[in-house]
Amino acid sequence: MTFEIGQWSTLPEDRISVGKSDWGGIWCALKLSGAKTLSKYMLTQYDLPTRIFTAAIDNPLYANSYRVKSQSVMLLEEI
């Protein structure tokens, strides 16, 4: 999936899954510390380096105390 800064990136309906599984949504952290934790997780679990941005989200699919999984995100600014 490609994310363009300032544009909505949306998963199609057949690629979303409500709930806490890794698959089926785009994860966003609520705080910078949570974003750093998710970044380390992606590197160790999937060998996938990531970058951290402030973002807007749309259609939340799951949330807990430090992150939200949604169907759409708009990247605003790299941190």
Residue range 8-43, pLDDT digits in tens: 999 999 999 898 888 889 989 999 999 999 899 989
Domain span including residue 14: 8-78
Structure confidence at residue 22 (pLDDT)? 80
Number of independent structural domains in the chain = 1
User: Is 24 domain-assigned?
Assistant: yes
pLDDT recorded at residue 62: 95
72 part of a folded domain = yes
63 CB-near residues (< 8 Å, 6+ apart): 69
Instruction: Decide: pTM greater than 0.85.
Output: no
Q: Which pLDDT score is estimated for 38? A: 84
Q: How confident is the model at residue 1, as a pLDDT?
A: 78
Confidence of residue 49 (pLDDT cuts 50, 70, 90): very high
Contact between 72 and 10 under an 8 Å Cβ cutoff? The reply is yes
